[in-house]
Amino acid sequence: MQVELISSITQFVPTRKNPNPDRVPEAAQAAEADGFDSVLVGYTSGRADGWAVTSRALCATSRLRILLAHRPGMIAPTLAARMAATVATFYDRRLSLNIVTGGSAIDQRREGDYADHDTRYERSMEYIDVLRQCWGATEPFAFEGRFYRAESVFHDLPISDPADIPLYMGGSSAPALEMAATRADVFMSWSEPVDDVAARVRDVLGRAAPHGRRPRVSVSMRLIIGSTEDEAWSVANSIVDPAAAQERLAGRRDHSEDIGRNRQLNFARSGLVLDDRLWMGIVAATGGQGSSGALVGTADQVRESLLKYVRAGADALLLTGPDGAYKKFPDGFLADLRREADKIVAARWALPSSAGAPSGAGGADSDQKALS
């Protein structure tokens, strides 16, 4: 088991303002050359179709995996299973799915989905069950649930093991955590203080253990790296002025459904700088939209902060620039991070599941104590 390094090429998809289709393959190739394992293709109702974007990126690369954000409820799970299996077959099983149940009722309604928050999670769990049954079936089957019904389902495709297409899931509500514990291959956490991430990891692994499961964990983080710490903070403050961020934050109200965004806002309200270099300025300015916390400092400082998250239980890191998009980091940064993170992840997964649960941020000494 090794650390997975992920970035995002979502911002490179063609738009009316920038219709250039070559940006997607160019960004994917650059991420692959820099040493990333995977890149995210995100999802909103008005963005270019992710399946087409994914195929273009996979065609342009040879090793890179695509983490395709997919929203259950928009198409039938039987069709989604066939589409995913086809893409995975053509591209050496370099496809993973990020199951996005949806925190924004407004964006769901843009696509004609009026289901409420908890109903969407119930539907997603049934949807995932159908996906995996489609991929693993060796003979035709029928199913009838609350949301989906079909007969004589069988796909004549080479994908026969659901593990060939890993499922990544995030969320902070009780239904989201239940879905992650019972169905996720990877639980995705937003940028939060290290101790809070460690507590969330313990929560998810504790919920998963009775089901005989042990999902991996990903943490998403924007990085602002300077040649000096002062330079890095100067860049951060040029993106969002601290006074302006505080002013915007004061006028922000909690969101009715998106528990994750509310958590981000609450962290920002407790301070724009947490854990020495976790900067919540973008969180304050955007109302907690997406994973917008950032680590600010020199390459060495940021790397050490990321390793604290790995010690706290992260098996994967989704790393982007300050705008949430793929960015080339300083030479050697990813290689040095991977070398140290691989040791921690490998040691954790060598332990029995109960012993492998993180106890906190810790450090090099705590890793040794866990092994002794």
Q: Is residue 95 within 8 Å of 84, Cβ to Cβ?
A: yes
- What pLDDT does residue 355 have? 54
Question: What are 23-39's pLDDT values in tens digits?
Answer: 999 999 999 999 999 99
- What pLDDT does residue 369 have? 29
Structure confidence at residue 190 as a pLDDT band (50, 70, 90): very high
- What pLDDT does residue 356 have? 55
| CA separation for the pair 84, 68 (Å, rounded) | 10
Task: Pick the more confident residue, 291 or 99.
Answer: 99
Question: What are 66-98's pLDDT values in tens digits?
Answer: 999 999 999 999 999 999 999 999 999 999 999
| Residue 269, strand partner residues | none
The full set of domains in the chain, from first to last, is 4-225+296-371 (3.20.20.30)
- What pLDDT does residue 368 have? 29
**Mean of per-residue pLDDT scores for the chain:** 93
Tokens of 326: 């793929």
Element (H, E) at 350: helix 333-350
| Amino acid occupying residue 103 | G
